[in-house]
Amino acid sequence: AQTVTQSQPEMSVQEAETVTLSCTYDTSESDYYLFWYKQPPSRQMILVIRQEAYKQQNATENRFSVNFQKAAKSFSLKISDSQLGDAAMYFCAWEGAQKLVFGQGTRLTINP
């Protein structure tokens, strides 16, 4: 069975600084997708960034980028120039066979 592990229950960062959230996963599949989702307090889950496992190039979306290490089964999220609106729970997720497997989440706090 696939598992996703986020080892940082909580992280905090100063506004405008950079923070990296860690994620590791375990799978025997060769073809899959990886995602980072953001869930603000009392608000719905929003997709932040996605990575196809067959692509070696790391995905980037504006201030958000990933470090995808397929052999190490690692998929970290870097947020640059952190903003107050980035405060949320962040979930790493693996997708194969049409279903998402989520990690436990990392609560990110932005200090003004």
Partner 1 sequence: DTGVSQDPRHKITKRGQNVTFRCDPISEHNRLYWYRQTLGQGPEFLTYFQNEAQLEKSRLLSDRFSAERPKGSFSTLEIQRTEQGDSAMYLCASSGWYNEQFFGPGTRLTVL
Residues binding partner 1 (CB under 8 A) = 4, 33, 37, 43-47, 50, 91, 93, 95, 97-105
* 43-72: b (≥16 Cβ within 10 Å) or e: eeeeebbebebeeeeebeeeebbbebeeee
Token pair for 34: 């990886």
C-beta of 66: minimal distance to partner 1 in Å?
15
Q: Which is nearer to partner 1, 37 or 75 (CB)?
A: 37
Q: Which is nearer to partner 1, 83 or 104 (CB)?
A: 104
Q: Which is nearer to partner 1, 34 or 110 (CB)?
A: 34
One-letter amino acid for residue 37 of the chain: Y
C-beta of 1: minimal distance to partner 1 in Å?
11
C-beta of 33: minimal distance to partner 1 in Å?
5
Give burial (CB, 10 Å; 0-12/13-18/19+) of 38. buried
